[in-house]
Structure formats: C-alpha cells, structure tokens
Structure 1
Amino acid sequence: MAYFTLIGFGPRGWGAALAQATLMTLAVSIAAFGVGIVFGMFGCWAKLSGSVVARGAATAYTTILRGIPDLLVIYLLYFGGSQAIGSIARLLGHQGFFGLNGFVVGTLAVGIVSGAYETEVLRGAYQAIPRGELEAARVAGMGRLLMLRRIIAPQTLRFALPGMGNVWQLVIKESALISVVGLVEIMNQTRIAVGSTGAAFSFYATGAALFLVVTTFSGAAFRRAERWAMRGMPSGGGRRA
C-alpha cells in the first residue's frame, strides 16, 4: 500500500507530478518528431538531387548525427549555444549568463538527430516506388507538383510508415536525455521523486512503466496507420500477375 500512496494523487502522492511529466515527454517527442520529419525531407531531397554539393552535405549530416552520441548533441546545442549567445551579448555590453529554453533546445536536438534517420527512411521509401508509375505520370503530362501530390507523396508515405514508427520509438526514448537541461519530463521527475523519498526502485520502475505505456499505445497507432496505408495493396503471400 505504501507504493500506491507514493504514486497516487493524494497529498503525499506523486501521481499528478508524474502525469504532468508524461505529458511533457509526449509534447517534446511529438515536437521533435515533427522537426525530424522536416529535416528528413530536406535531407532526402538533397541525397536524391543532382547537386554534388547537396548530396555531400546530406551525407555528412546523416553520417555525423548517426555517429555521435545523442547526449553530446544536446550538450553542444544547450551549453554551446548559451556560450555563443553570451559571447555575443558581452560584445554588445551585456553581462551575465544567457541560458536557452530547455524545451526548445531539447526538441531541436532530438529532432536533428531523428532527422538523420528520417532522411534514410524517406530516401528508401522513395526508391521503393515502382519506376513505371513515375514514367507513366511523365508520359501522361503530369507536372512535378501534381506528380508529387498524387504519386510521390502518397507512395513514399506508404512505404515509409514502418520506418517512421521505429524512429518515433527512438525519439520517445531519446526524450529522456533532455533531463540534463532541466526539463521536467518522466526521467527527471522520477529522479526528483527518488531524491525526495529515497524509493528508488518504486519510482524508476514506475518511470519505466510510463515509457512502456507510451511506446505500446503509440506503436499500436502506427501499426494501424500502416494497415490503413496499405489498404487495397496485394499481400506478400498473394498471387502475382
């Protein structure tokens, strides 16, 4: 019963704080996932473009961001960004420490990292589109924007959804890293609760359960979206013409 008192919503319980931290985790994850999609689309376009410079920049982006620890990216953006802003402010005659907003920095950091994975997911999805469909669209006289709206975007989304679901799960887990910038999400809130009560196992196990609930329900949502996107498509075990 002591455990349920600790995580409950009573005067001695941490239930309200944990619920608010869970909402913060969801908010950061959704925002970072959206930022990652934007970076991924630009990265995919660059890798598929005819420009050597654009392809080189996109390759460097995906190689570097997938090759260094995510925590280091957060440190670089938060502390490095604060130092850069502070240096500029001192040149303008202002003194003191200029900290960046933890939510913005955390969202941007996780989004930039996930964007490197989204780039490869979207690139692979685009390359999975049957070339015959694109050629038929060109022969039919479709312009680039019309072909993008009717063929490329729907088909790319259809093939990208499984990979995007995996990236989403990655983003949720990476959201725990932004606790280092002071944002009170699930990981930081459980650490605060442990420091106040000493009930390490109870709160860390509860934090793990909250992450599991979020990933389980969101994973089910992505699987449902995949089934919706693949409606009308022949199954892998069906007959082929």
Structure 2
Amino acid sequence: MPASELLSLLSFGEGGWGDELLKGALLTLALALVTFPFGIMFGFLLALAQRSGGRITRGASVAFAWVFKGLPELLTLFLVFYGAQIALRQLFAAVAPGVVVEIPAFAAGVVALGVVNASYASEVWLGAFTAIPQGQYAAAAALGLSRRLTLRLVIFPQLLRHALPGIGNLWMVLLKDTSLVSVISLTELMRMTQVAAGTTKQYFLFYITAFVVYLLISAVSGELFAHLERRSARGRERDA
C-alpha cells in the first residue's frame, strides 16, 4: 500500500481512524488521571495506618497491601468488575428486589487499578517516612504542635519531596496498566488500536502509532515529574 494511503488511515474524519485513536488516548489519560490521585491518597492512608494505627488497623493495612501486590492486575480487574457486581446484585435482591445494579466499566477500572496502585504507593510513602529524621518530630513537639499539625505543616512537605521519584514511577506504571481495561469493554488507546489494526490489517502502522502516542505521554509525564523534583531540590538547597 502506498505511503499516502497508509497515512490516510490515520487521518481524522471519514475513512480515517484518527478520531477513534484520539478518543482512545483521551480515555487512557482520563482513566489514569482519575485513578492516580485515588491510588496515591489511599496509599498514604495505608502507610499512616501501618505506622501509627492500632494493631487491628495496622494488620488490616499490611494485609491489604500484601494481597493486592500479590494479585495480577488483570485478576483484580475481574474481581472488581464481575465479583463486586455479583455481590451487589445479591445484596439488592435481598433488600430491594427488582433493582438492577451494574458497575460502570470506567468505575471498575478506577477502583481495580487504584487499589493496586495504592498498595505500591504505601511502600513509597513508608520509605519516605523513614527518610525524615526523628528530630523533626521532636522539634514540632517542643513547639507545642499537635500530631495532626506536625504531619500537615512539618512532615508532609518533606515527605512529598522524598516520595516524588517513587510517585513518578507509579504514574508510569499506571499508564501502562490502563491497557488492561480493554477486557471489560473500555475502548482505551490499546483496544482501539487493536480494532483499527484488525479491521484494516495494517498491524504495524497502528501498533507503531500506539507506540509513539504512549511514548509521547510518557515523555511529557517524565519531564513534568523531573521538573517537580528539580523544584523540590531547589527548596532543599535553600533550606540548607
């Protein structure tokens, strides 16, 4: 096939797949952008529970992180999308017969990828906690700050600085994991690429296009996190 005809397959409008690939890329970004803060914040709560919670809370948080780090992401996705849906239907059948419950595929993707992301994020936060000298806590106590104020005003700014590299890596992993949601009928970038390649039989063209799109997103993301780390390092130099 001539190069002009191949490129026309990537055009926007009738006869091209550009619109569909763009929609898939936007869905990939939307899924990642919604899931990421959920996973990072949940992971932070898990880390807090492991550090300062009671025995039951600490044990539950450790078990949660252990389970979802051990399960394949695809299995977690199936458990949330199908398992939770069945459980909710049985619950509603008992309390509200006739009510049909369906979990949206997007929501299932956010929850499944979010809990996996949170289990790894908890390790990042725990590592950041260990990097903060104990003297910081003692100084805050000497100033009469409560534990909550100490965490918010003294510890968390330093914590975020130490956690940034790990958080950036988690974002990159999450971007790749979004391709798994195609199994629950979400037409993100990888799923749309497969459809376009299967329809046109131009597998190399569409897979190399997906490669370029993922690479661009990763490059922009990497530069953003590198910028944040550089700003954080400047702040540390000023403190020194």
Q: 1:220: which partner in 2?
A: 223
1:4 equivalent to 2:7? Answer yes
Whole-Å separation in 2 of the counterparts to 1:232 and 1:35: 27
Report deviation, 1:89.
Answer: 4.3
Q: 2:174 aligns with which of 149, 171, 176?
A: 171
Larger relative helix fraction: 2
Q: 1:94: which partner in 2?
A: 98
Q: 1:128: which partner in 2?
A: 131
- TM score, norm. by length of structure 1: 0.91
Report deviation, 1:146.
Answer: 2.4
Whole-Å separation in 2 of the counterparts to 1:42 and 1:95: 34
Whole-Å separation in 2 of the counterparts to 1:154 and 1:81: 37
Report deviation, 1:140.
Answer: 1.7
Whole-Å separation in 2 of the counterparts to 1:221 and 1:232: 17
Q: 1:61 aligns with which of 60, 64, 74?
A: 64
- TM score, norm. by length of structure 2: 0.92
Q: 2:141: which partner in 1?
A: 138
Report the residue type matching 1:176 in the other structure: S
Gap runs ≥5 in structure 2 = none
Whole-Å separation in 2 of the counterparts to 1:50 and 1:105: 29
Q: 2:210: which partner in 1?
A: 207
Whole-Å separation in 2 of the counterparts to 1:136 and 1:30: 37
Q: Deviations over 1:63-113 (max 9, x none)?
A: 1111110000000000112222333344443387x5320111101110110
Whole-Å separation in 2 of the counterparts to 1:177 and 1:71: 7
Counting matched residue pairs gives 235
50-59 vs 116-125, which moves further: 50-59
Q: Secondary structure at the match of 1:207?
A: helix
What percent of counterpart residues are identical?
37
Whole-Å separation in 2 of the counterparts to 1:195 and 1:212: 22
Q: 2:74: which partner in 1?
A: 71
Report the residue type matching 1:163 in the other structure: G
Whole-Å separation in 1 of the counterparts to 2:148 and 2:91: 42
Report the residue type matching 2:73 in the other structure: D
Report deviation, 1:145.
Answer: 2.8
Whole-Å separation in 2 of the counterparts to 1:99 and 1:201: 37
Q: Deviations over 1:50-73 (max 9, x none)?
A: 511122111111111111100000
Whole-Å separation in 1 of the counterparts to 2:178 and 2:36: 10
User: Once superposed, which parts of structure 1, at least 4 consecutive aligned residues long, lie more than 6 Å away?
Assistant: none
Q: 1:229 aligns with which of 214, 232, 237?
A: 232
